[in-house]
Amino acid sequence: MCRRACAICWTRRNSNRLLNEASGRFEVSSPATTPAPDSPFSLDNAAAYLAWREQKLSGCPSRVEDLVVDVHDPRCLTEAEHDAILQRCRNTNVAVYRSDCGADPDKAIPKQLGLQLGLTHLDRNLLADDDGITALSLAAGGARLDYIPYSNRPLNWHTDGYYNVTRRQIRAMLLHCVRPAMSGGINALLDHEIAYIMLRDADTRYVQALMETDAMTIPERIDEHGVARPAQTGPVFSVDPESGTLHMRYTARTRSIVWKQNPETLAAREFLERLLASDTPYIFHVRLEAGMGIVCNNVLHNRSGFAGSGDDERLLYRARYYDHM
Ligand SMILES: [Fe+2]
């Protein structure tokens, strides 16, 4: 299979992904919580896990600079730029790009970049703009006032779309910075595969508990019209049945979440919280400047609070995808 995002390869990769004729929406196969016997994520296959683990850890960067790729124009990557981004995503599920676009507000920047990386199916979430790309800035009013991403408050650890239905999980995400905050607004990033390794190495029962289909429930969301989004129950870790890649669904929030009440799940959750609060060298911190961005396979991330107001307020574009790089 070629490394470029050509249509033939995309069709092969996505043969079991469905375009729902009724809704016109793209849906992916339900992730499996029982990995195939030869999967490194099968708890019955220690040999496959150890081989994958060794390869994974040996390819992990040790400095955040190792994640950074300089590109001239994200709308039109050179082959070397394209390969450098995908190489980082293959190794550690995330790349940071630094472009010459500066504060250019062209939304084609994230959109065209995503397309070149094989990210074609945008999640048109509740507050996304009509083009599926969300402008993240301070909310001046309306529904956005209720959501932390549109405020300057810190945003706790999570993966995107953890409240989505099982068949509409977010597999990749892109953030492009048009204007940074005056101060703050720093993202921390942790590859979810590294979190999996830490958990499994500590106690295999942790990952077993987090792969249960009822490990984590996000209660329904009610608005003035009734149930705006039904409750979503599912695993934290699951495996894409087609690509075999690991997917993580997580939020560190403590309200409006119900964890399975058994000792293994609660211990796993506690371990994960300690890991995310630790100074492990696997957590990278990035402050996006104008023209910079993050593209990732929906790794764990957070954002610090920030300061700034008026015309110079922080503006980022966010795109969420059902595709995996
Ligand atoms: Fe996020």
97-153 residue pLDDT tens: 999 999 999 999 999 999 999 999 999 876 666 788 999 987 666 666 667 777 788
The residues near 63 (Cβ < 8 Å, ≥ 6 apart) are none
pLDDT of residue 30: 58
CA–CA separation, 50 and 53 (whole Å): 5
Of the candidates 242, 222, 264, 228, the one whose C-alpha atom is nearest the C-alpha of residue 36 is 242
The enclosing H or E element of 113 equals: helix 108-116
CB–CB of 156/190 below 8 Å?
Answer: no
Give 158 Cα–ligand 1 centroid separation in angstroms: 6
Give 169-208 pLDDT, tens digit per residue: 999 999 999 999 888 899 999 999 999 999 999 999 999 9
CA–CA separation, 152 and 213 (whole Å): 34
For residue 9, the SS3 value is helix
Give 302 Cα–ligand 1 centroid separation in angstroms: 7
Give 301 Cα–ligand 1 centroid separation in angstroms: 6
CA–CA separation, 306 and 308 (whole Å): 7
Give 220 Cα–ligand 1 centroid separation in angstroms: 20
CA–CA separation, 287 and 98 (whole Å): 11
The enclosing H or E element of 208 equals: helix 204-210
Give 175 Cα–ligand 1 centroid separation in angstroms: 9
CB–CB of 54/61 below 8 Å?
Answer: no
Give 48 Cα–ligand 1 centroid separation in angstroms: 31
- DSSP state for residue 322 in the 8-state scheme: S
CA–CA separation, 35 and 79 (whole Å): 34
Of the candidates 320, 298, 310, 321, the one whose C-alpha atom is nearest the C-alpha of residue 179 is 310
How many helices (H) and strands (E) are present in the chain, helices listed first? 7, 21
For residue 290, the one-letter residue type is A
Give 266 Cα–ligand 1 centroid separation in angstroms: 23
Give 159 Cα–ligand 1 centroid separation in angstroms: 6
pLDDT of residue 263: 97
pLDDT of residue 309: 55
Q: Which domains does the chain have, with CATH numbers?
A: 31-321 (3.60.130.10)
- DSSP state for residue 75 in the 8-state scheme: T
CA–CA separation, 187 and 289 (whole Å): 12
Gyration radius of the chain over CA positions: 19
pLDDT of residue 224: 80
pLDDT of residue 217: 95
| Environment class of 143 (CB within 10 Å of its CB; exposed 0-12, middle 13-18, buried 19+) | exposed
pLDDT of residue 242: 83
pLDDT less than 70: residues of the chain = 1-33, 126-129, 139-146, 308-312
